[in-house]
């Protein structure tokens, strides 16, 4: 019965989104946006879609390795001013939670969807909270606490940003298509010192490591010929970071709007265009027994202007979040290890890899496209 209600609710949501008027209700992500913090860490209801992604690599005090993901999504349904009751569906809030037990090859994940209701889910700058049920981020000044409670595991982490927020793209937008507004406003905290505790199957672990936060808000996102993306967050041991993404087109080509950002040890950023880097699959794939999608789980990276050559691998290929409800995409998101060279000197690090559109094309498009 629970699965049936969830499927009916997802179908209803799909119908509601399809019935929305053209995107005049919402703003587009356009050049010249003036970022302000802490305001821009929170909600942007004038944009149709918004998400907050937290990922990280942790190690327990006895050396056991884990990866985690906690993500919050807000999808606007209507901005009709008459829809102001506590149970009116103005926004739907999704959340995904995952834990990778990297040394044992186990992967735990779950998801949920809620309307805001009387405090069930939402985003509040006044309270410094982003939450969906008992999964939440709580800001306290520049620091954050992360809490997530699931039937298999719980996470309680303190997050401290070692660098200022990174704004990706040019002139305030991360452009994804040829037309104005086919873009997102995209913010990251690229080096979050993480520490806290984790309970897994009845056992407690004290853990520490590095996390990464991505926050995007937009109304239009992908063009019809763009069917998915490959995205990496990379935290290198020389205290630098990289964000890279390839947009894949229906004909298999890489889209010219693929891009990235390099963050130096002092927090200064360099925008990377598609021509500045090579990001391509290497040998090694994993096929999902559930969706039958085949994912490349080994990647090579070259950035000649930075003298960087890296290889990304994962110790645990099975890290797919399978969405059976059809609205949000199924995607692979998992912990990776990096090894390589910078100017002929050894370089290593860790990060996260996200791959979408391998089972079916991604449909994060507004109804007006």
pTM for this model (two decimals): 0.91
| Mean predicted confidence (pLDDT) in 195-209 | 97
- Give the SS3 label for residue 168: coil
Q: How many CB atoms lie within 10 A of CB 154?
A: 16
Torsion angle of the four alpha carbons 116, 120, 125, 128, in this order, in degrees rounded to the nearest 10: -160
Are 248 and 255 in contact by the 8 Å Cβ rule? The answer is yes
Q: How confident is the model at residue 23 (pLDDT cuts 50, 70, 90)?
A: low
| Mean predicted confidence (pLDDT) in 340-358 | 96
CA dihedral sign of residues 321, 230, 241, 142: negative
pLDDT greater than 80 at residue 18: no
pLDDT greater than 90 at residue 224: no
The domain locations on the chain are 2-356
Closest CA to 235 of 319, 163, 179: 163
What single DSSP character describes residue 117? T
pLDDT greater than 70 at residue 141: yes
Tell me yes or no: is domain 2-356 CATH 3.40.50.300: no
Are 85 and 118 in contact by the 8 Å Cβ rule? The answer is no
Q: How confident is the model at residue 91 (pLDDT cuts 50, 70, 90)?
A: very high
- Of the chain, the percentage scoring pLDDT greater than 70 comes to 90
């Amino acid at each position: 019965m629970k699965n049936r209600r969830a499927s009916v609710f997802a179908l209803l949501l799909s119908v509601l989104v399809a019935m929305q008027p053209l995107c005049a209700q919402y703003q587009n992500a356009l050049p010249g946006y003036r970022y302000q913090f802490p305001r821009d860490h929170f909600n942007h209801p004038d944009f149709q879609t918004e998400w907050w992604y937290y990922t990280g690599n942790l190690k327990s005090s006895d050396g056991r390795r884990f990866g985690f993901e906690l993500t919050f999504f807000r999808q606007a349904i209507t901005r009709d001013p008459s829809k102001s009751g506590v149970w009116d569906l103005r926004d739907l809030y999704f959340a995904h939670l995952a834990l990778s037990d990297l040394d044992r090859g186990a992967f735990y994940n779950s998801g949920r969807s809620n309307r805001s209701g009387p405090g069930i889910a939402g985003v509040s700058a006044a309270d410094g909270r982003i939450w969906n049920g008992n999964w939440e981020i709580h800001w306290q000044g520049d620091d954050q606490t992360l809490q997530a409670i699931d039937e298999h595991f719980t996470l309680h982490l303190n997050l401290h940003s070692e660098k200022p927020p990174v704004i990706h793209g040019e002139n305030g937008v991360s452009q994804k298509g040829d037309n104005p507004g086919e873009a997102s406003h995209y913010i990251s905290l690229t080096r979050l010192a993480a520490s806290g505790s984790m309970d897994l199957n009845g056992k407690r672990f004290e853990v520490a490591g590095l996390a990464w936060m991505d926050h995007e808000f937009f109304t239009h996102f992908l063009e019809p010929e763009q069917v998915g993306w490959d995205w990496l967050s990379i935290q290198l041991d020389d205290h630098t970071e990289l964000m890279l993404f390839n947009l894949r087109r229906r004909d298999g080509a890489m889209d010219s709007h693929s891009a990235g950002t390099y963050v130096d040890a002092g927090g200064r950023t360099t925008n990377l265009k598609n021509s500045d880097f090579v990001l391509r699959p290497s040998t090694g794939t994993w096929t999902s027994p559930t969706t039958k999608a085949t994912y490349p789980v080994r990647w090579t990276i070259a950035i000649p202007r930075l003298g960087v050559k890296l290889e990304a691998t994962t110790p645990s290929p099975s890290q797919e979040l399978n969405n059976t409800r059809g609205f949000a995409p199924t995607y692979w998101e998992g912990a990776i290890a990096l090894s390589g060279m910078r100017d002929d000197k050894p370089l290593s690090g860790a990060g996260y890899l996200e791959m979408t559109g391998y089972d079916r094309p991604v449909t994060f498009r507004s109804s007006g496209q």
